[in-house]
Structure 1
């Protein structure tokens, strides 16, 4: 487990997860670099109406209430779960993850991505089949869930990106 402590403050890795509509997941499964650049540009310039509209078109909505309920029920006796307004903390054995859930994305912090793979990803896969995750500090990104039947859209590209 890698924990970074600077002046008494523990620094955790920060990630974001986006539920991508299946038709766009199929188009961009093997072109995740395009999707990554688009999401990064969206966060840098979400006042741009074209980019904002495209973001809303390709992403789905997380049901925060349903997700909270599912996490509490699945980790009822096996882990400690703290629930707040659109935030959840899960502690199980030596694994820790902190979630902030919004309508179109989940931001989470953990010591290592393996904590999310163990505590979070299996639950999220119950809600949506195509989830895209990115590291908010590094250029690390990828799909959580595999997408099938991808060859139909290999030559299509519709996202606008200036990066």
Structure 2
């Protein structure tokens, strides 16, 4: 099973750390594995750089993008699921205020459907897969060139 955590990074931090996304990965990794006394400092940093998800906006974006798919379901407690035809794959997205959790099985298509839909919510969404050490923006951020 592939597991992702998705964070909404504040725009000023997203632009400042563009190209240095490993710093975000390291911060989130330390939050999940660090020692207790270090964890509180890391958690405060994460709270500072991330924004809260509006559950209403999240549900609205996902429903608008995916309601026409037979395989899409909205469950209680902010749980959204997609199951591909012929049991090729399944993905489940659960939501908390500061973090979305995506679990996927089978084909990568199921999680890709969620990633594509979430891009419409905000461009500063950052996904992390600790097990495979993968991380990145759901929608690449365009860095402005201020000096020509």
After TM superposition, is the score higher than 0.5? Answer: yes
How many equivalent pairs are there? Answer: 140
Give the counterpart of 2:22 among 16, 22, 33.
33
Q: Which structure 1 residue ranges, 4+ long, deviate > 6 Å from structure 2?
A: none
- 1:6-62 Cα distance to aligned partner (Å, 9 max, x none): xxxxxx211111111111111222111111001111223476443222111111111
Q: Does 1:149 align with 2:143?
A: yes
Q: Does 1:19 align with 2:8?
A: yes
Cα–Cα, structure 1 residues 31 and 151, in superposed 2: closer, same or farther, change >3 Å? farther
Cα distance in 2 for partners of 1:133, 1:24 equals 15
Cα distance in 2 for partners of 1:78, 1:114 equals 13
Gapped regions of structure 2 (runs ≥ 5): none
TM-score normalised to the size of structure 2? 0.81
Superposition CA RMSD, Å: 2.2
Cα distance in 2 for partners of 1:70, 1:145 equals 15
TM-score normalised to the size of structure 1? 0.74
Cα distance in 2 for partners of 1:44, 1:29 equals 24
Question: In structure 2, what is the equivalent of residue 116 of structure 1?
Answer: 111
Cα distance in 1 for partners of 2:145, 2:69 equals 41
Q: Does 1:85 align with 2:77?
A: yes
Q: Does 1:61 align with 2:29?
A: no
Gapped regions of structure 1 (runs ≥ 5): 1-11, 153-163
More divergent stretch after superposition (24-33 vs 80-89): 80-89
Give the counterpart of 1:127 among 121, 135, 138.
121
